[in-house]
Amino acid sequence: MSFELTPEQKMIVSAACDVAKDFDPEYWRNRDKNHEFPDDFWKALVDAGFVGIPVPEKYGGGGMGLYEMLLAMETLTSESCGLAGTWFLCLTSVFGGLSLLKHGNEDQKDKYLPRIVKGTEFCLGLTEPDAGTNTLNIQTTAVEDGDHFIVNGRKTLISGADRAKGMVLITRTTPLDKAPKKTIGLSLFLVDLPNPAVEVTPIEKHGINYSKTCDVYISDLKIPRENLLGEKDKGWYLILDTLNPERMSFSVAAGGLGILAIKKAVEHAKQRKVFGAPIGSYQALQFPLAEAKAKIEAARLLTYKSAWLYDKGQPCGAEAAMAKVAAEEAGYQAVYHAMQTFGGYGYTVEYDVERWWREVNLIRLAPVTHQMALAFIGEHVLGLPKSY
Ligand SMILES: Cc1cc2nc3c(=O)[nH]c(=O)nc-3n(C[C@H](O)[C@H](O)[C@H](O)COP(=O)(O)OP(=O)(O)OC[C@H]3O[C@@H](n4cnc5c(N)ncnc54)[C@H](O)[C@@H]3O)c2cc1C
């Protein structure tokens, strides 16, 4: 792994800076306040070729990797867009694009990848109310019926389901009590949306209000066999190739939010004087920001290492989990101390830090919770007994 960006990677960063210039914090403040989807931002991402960064050129994509995708996400986030800089690319390019690239057959790739590159939105239907973090306990079933599967169940907290034209849906095709082992019996499907058998209801939430997160009720949904993604019953092993890049995406988002918040806090701390000297000269404010900055840089190395492994087709689950823990903590500290630096202004909407605070809080809860990422590291990296 090289620490120097290639000319192509530098171009991605520069193009992301150009896009970000048109979508400043005020733009996101208004979108968040008015609960408005950022149509023009999504168009800009499509036009810049960002949605197809990891998609091979034969499908109209950029023919690069997850590493380059993360560079775009991180730059958009840290320049001005906050979590939105990562969010929309994660929903469509990671959930849709990478799932298909890793496990789609040629017909599925020919059908969906060119659409994804052109901005057809995707979402991921994994979480269920009664399973939560315990994915193997999902209750949504897909039952074979000739050349179709009939799906019934309920998903919750599904982001972008209100607009998506495609969903990667995780179901049980073999009941848990009949499966040879717990990790066998899950299957992935490509679902075309909207569909009358899929009822989507947005859930009110704490932040990221420019994008909806939804309850999804599925009732006798008929999915043709050709929409089975990868091998039946092996879905648990396949979906990890989507969940690991999702973790990496949220790692660059946490770091990017931290970089953005520190940048704004430093500007403020240099000019704000309350006892004669700039408040940034007080170590009580300066050191926590410096510490967060150091931790963000360390987390970035681990995140890009995990993407480098992913692009090489090597195991990256441990690195992705460790990067997520490190980045999420660093980003959280950075935004927290940025808010302290702004004092009372930090609590007002006008200074944006309160929005970034709402955004960075998500990354401790999703896509994998802080606790479950630590449990994974404890078991799989340290070799300790499974804690649950
Ligand atoms: C805004 C938002 C967007 C989302 N978007 C999507 C999406 O697009 N698609 C999708 O499928 N999901 C999505 N999710 C769901 C998200 O991935 C889950 O919320 C997350 O994985 C946690 O699951 P849960 O909420 O059911 O928590 P639970 O599983 O109920 O866990 C609750 C708490 O208990 C802790 N806990 C549980 N078990 C253990 C254990 N064994 N050891 C230690 N601690 C434990 C957890 O760490 C957590 O702190 C989204 C969530 C949010 C908030």
Query: Which ligand 1 atom sits closest to the C-alpha of 161?
Result: 8
Query: Which ligand 1 atom sits closest to the C-alpha of 170?
Result: 11
Distance of CA 302 to the CA centre of its chain: 17
Distance (Å) from CA 325 to ligand 1 centroid: 15
Distance (Å) from CA 137 to ligand 1 centroid: 13
pTM of this prediction?
Answer: 0.97
pLDDT tens column, 7-61:
999 999 999 999 999 999 999 999 999 999 999 999 999 999 999 999 999 999 9
Ligand 1 site-directed mutation target among 157, 158, 376, most atoms within 8 Å of CB: 157
CB distance 148 to 222 below 8 Å = yes
State the pLDDT at residue 229.
Answer: 98
**115: CB partners within 8 A, 6+ apart:** 165, 166
Structure tokens at 149: 């599967």
pLDDT tens column, 242-261:
999 999 999 999 999 999 99
Atom 11 (ligand 1) nearest CA: 126
CA distances from 16 to 51, 104, 172, 295 (A): 12, 29, 39, 23
pLDDT at 3 over 90: no
What is the H or E stretch that residue 312 is in? none
Ligand 1 site-directed mutation target among 87, 127, 209, most atoms within 8 Å of CB: 127
pLDDT tens column, 276-291:
999 999 999 999 999 9
3 state DSSP class of 159: strand
Sign of CA dihedral 20, 22, 25, 30: negative
Q: What is the mean pLDDT of residues 324-350?
A: 98
Instruction: Please tell me the distance from the alpha carbon of residue 3 to that of residue 11, in angstroms, as a whole number.
Output: 16
Atom 35 (ligand 1) nearest CA: 371
